Structure 1
Amino acid sequence: MKIVSVNLGERKEIDWKGKKVTTGIFKYSVDIPIFLDEEEVRGDAICNREHHGGIDQAVYAYSVKHYDYFKELYPDLNWEMGMFGENLTLSDLEETAIHVGDTFKVGDVILEVTKSRQPCMKLGVRFNDMSIVKQFWNTTMCGVYFKVLQTGFVKKDDVFELLKSDKTKPTIAEIYTQKRAQKA
């Protein structure tokens, strides 16, 4: 698994159906290394600290392979890396094989898997279609939040090296499926 794109977003205020929405979901690929700090990605806007950022959600990663599924549903969108609000777009992130607590070294950084992402209305804002929220929920392609155990810079083409995995802990897909069932 390697980094295909590092992505940052700015605070953006938009008009969504007559309502003012402030969001940082509009992330775009950058050609410089990004710094993964203890509670956030430096230089990336976090507009809702209750649901984003913090120790257990410092970095959000999503698989470029998942893009293909959603491109079929939204062929007319201008597809760019960072489309799902992820800080790191990875080559092959598989939620059914990554366990809570798995630890990776990437560049000088050490990351620990903490939780799945739950989609909110801002994903619908990004796609300009609220249907994406339910479609996202109905897959296990949710992406992964990481805790930063050792801070530092990462960049495109950096490789994730698995340091530790505990297969007795639930996978991200299992956690996500349980949360989806609770919401139903």
Structure 2
Amino acid sequence: MRILSISTGKISPLFGIDHPDHKVVNSGIKKDVVSSLEQPNIVLVRKVGIDGDEQADFSVHGGLEKAIYAYPAEHYNFWNELLAREVKRTEPIGHGFVGENLSVEGFTEADVWVGDIWQIGEVELEVVKLREPCFKFNARMGYKGSAKAMIQSRRSGWYLKVHQGGTIKAGDGIIVTPGRRETNIDMQNAFLLRKEQQKDLF
């Protein structure tokens, strides 16, 4: 289990949003890889997240409880197949595109439990909760069904809080210390899916 890449982004305008009240909105979802296996640059982690990363709306991403967003790199095959089919996208998307800071290998939502501690060198992180997609995710993906697809497929990724800052880089291994192991991210996804299905009934 390791980090394949680290991505950060600045707040910038996001266009083409399928939302009745917004044509343009600021977002930090557009991220670029700053550390990769090919170029494993060292990145500083602070209590509020990765150095150089910005968030426009702390209610959905950022702050101490959602400082870092991790996403399984294995999910990118799903998104590339979906976008090729639904919007005829020909250029595949890559790490960081869905807005994650850490593209990780060796985890699925069923393997990741709320309260687990991740040790990456001197950096200590704690798993907090799943990512709930919104209309900004649809705009970023260029497909209005993206948020629904994330919920239905239960490929959400998860947020981490920072207990101990320090430096990390792509290629670093992740050592997991189990927490109470009462709820995993897949369970949270299943609950969110049921809630969204109930909304659709009204």
> Fold conserved (TM > 0.5)?
yes
Q: CA deviation at 1:147?
A: 1.0
Counterpart of 1:170, as a letter, is T
* Partner AA of 2:76 in structure 1: Y
The structure 2 residue matched to 1:21, chosen from 17, 21, 25, is: 25
Relative distance call for 1:149 and 1:113 in structure 2 (3 A) is same
Which residue number corresponds to residue 102 of structure 1?
116
2:38 equivalent in structure 1: none
TM-align CA RMSD: 1.5
CA distance in 1, matches of 2:142, 2:152: 19
CA distance in 2, matches of 1:183, 1:41: 31
Task: Say whether 1:66 aligns with 2:109.
Answer: no
Shift of 1:61: 0.2
Q: Which runs of 5+ in 1 are unaligned?
A: none
1:156 equivalent in alignment to 2:165: no
Q: Does 1:111 align with 2:115?
A: no
Q: Judging changes above 3 Å, is the alpha-carbon distance between structure 1 residues 166 and 14 closer, same or farther for their aligned structure 2 residues?
A: closer
Q: 1:41 aligns with which of 8, 28, 50?
A: 50
What letter is aligned with 1:44? D
C-alpha deviation, 1:142, in angstroms: 0.7
For the 8 Å contact 1:16–1:125, the answer to whether it is kept is yes
CA distance in 1, matches of 2:91, 2:28: 19
Q: Of residues 98, 109, 114 in structure 2, which corresponds to 1:84?
A: 98
**Count, aligned residues:** 183
Query: Where has structure 1 moved over 3 Å in runs of 4 or more?
Result: none
In 2, Cα distance between the equivalents of 1:142 and 1:15? 23
Residue 51 of structure 1 and its aligned partner are, at CA, apart by 1.4
TM-score by length of 2: 0.85
Unaligned runs of 5+ in 2: 36-40, 85-89, 198-202
Offset at residue 176 of structure 1 (A): 1.8
Is the Cα contact below 8 Å between 1:113 and 1:147 reproduced in 2?
yes
Q: CA deviation at 1:115?
A: 0.2
C-alpha separation in 1, matches of 2:99 and 2:14 = 16
Aligned to 1:3: 3
| Counterpart selection for 2:184 from 146, 166, 171 | 171
Match for 2:61 among 42, 49, 52? 52
- TM-score, scaled relative to structure 1: 0.93
- Percent of aligned pairs with the same amino acid: 29
2:70 alignment partner, SS class: strand
- Distance across 1 between alignment mates of 2:14 and 2:129: 28
In the alignment, structure 1 residue 141 sits paired with structure 2 residue 150: no
Aligned-partner residue type, residue 33 of structure 1: I
Contact 1:116-1:142 at 8 Å conserved across structures: yes
Q: Which structure's CA Rg is the greater one?
A: 2
What is the match of residue 127 of structure 1? 141
